[in-house]
Chain A
Amino acid sequence: MKATILAICALVGLVTGYFAAPIASYGYLRAKEPDMFGAFLFFLVDNEIACNCQNQPPNESLKTVKNSISILQGWRNQNPNSQMLAQEIGLAQVRLSRVEEALGDEAQAEEGLNAARIELAPLGWKDLSAAHLIALTTQLDSEYRPKKENKEVASLTAK
């Protein structure tokens, strides 16, 4: 009888541990490899801008981009030296400016571009003209597609 109860306890432990493993791994990676974990969050925000803004009316896009910028800025407060975050915030500011221009708010659009320039100039970007930044983000957005597991090596010579 005692052996059976003991075996049941061990079995319950085995099952619990088995199902707890993904959560434990998630916590472990979050603590031990914050850069890798940060990439996951970064990807989510990036996708939100690229994925949602293409199919939303300007009013909705405005909310999405503003929300994403505030998330990125929150992370930047934790990682003030991250140039990747600075670049992403700069590009998001350009997207915000495009949306504001679509809504007819020229002053806000210009302000957005200036905010982008403030982010991108310290990164050494050479061409900070409105035309270039808008064309660049339009090109980057047009390349958005859902994540593919395996990139084709052939793409190396494709363009």
Chain B
Amino acid sequence: MDMDRLIPLHRLIPGTCGKVSQLTANGNTRRRMLDLGLICGTRVEVLQKSPSGDTVAYEIRGAVIALRSEEASQILVELL
């Protein structure tokens, strides 16, 4: 796979969608992400940014999940 096309999720702007291709997180954080259904090929839609900034709401498998930029940056996606 062309690694150059992979973008950390927190860089996506609201309204765009990405397809998960790699998780760079380890340990507990990685397990939690997997539990949210963030496996390879999962479609993630960026919904909106929190009023205080940084935290962003994403639609993942029908659920709305808010992630901070630290976590979202560990999810590499392909822009759809």
> Do these two chains really belong together in a complex?
no
Enumerate chain B interface residues (CB-CB to A < 8 A): none
